[in-house]
Amino acid sequence: MLAVIAKLTVAEGKEEAFEEVMLGLAAQVRENEPGNRLYELCKDEDGNYLVMELYEDADALAAHGQSEHFKAAGGGFKGLMAGPPEIQRLQVVGGADK
């Protein structure tokens, strides 16, 4: 099982629009990607956004990146981001993949 944590820097004043686009993408991921186990938008107390993702395997992660809904969502983020995402990929250790 693979985990991904994506730190997203949103332009000031664009948070509401960003959340709308991101939550729409999250719904599409959950509906259309059987290899995805978790895709959640999170926000810390300072207003920083993270997406927590969990995939059954490398094929499921690759399918996510190639999905039509993921590609289509890209245009929705134009003008909302203050920088590129910081992506951390992790191997799940222990019983979560059973």
Show me where the domains of the chain are located: 2-93
Question: pLDDT for 6-38, tens place per residue?
Answer: 999 999 999 999 999 999 999 999 999 999 999
- Domain range 2-93, CATH class: alpha beta
CA distance 85 to 71: 15
Number of other CB atoms surrounding residue 14 within 10 Å: 15
What pLDDT score does 74 carry? Answer: 86
Residue 5 has pLDDT above 70, yes or no: yes
- DSSP, collapsed to helix, strand or coil, labels residue 2 as strand
What pLDDT score does 96 carry? Answer: 52
What pLDDT score does 97 carry? Answer: 47
**Which parts of 1-98 are beta strand (E)?**
2-8, 36-43, 49-55, 86-91
Question: pLDDT for 48-96, tens place per residue?
Answer: 999 999 999 999 999 999 999 988 888 889 999 999 999 999 999 986 5
What pLDDT score does 43 carry? Answer: 96
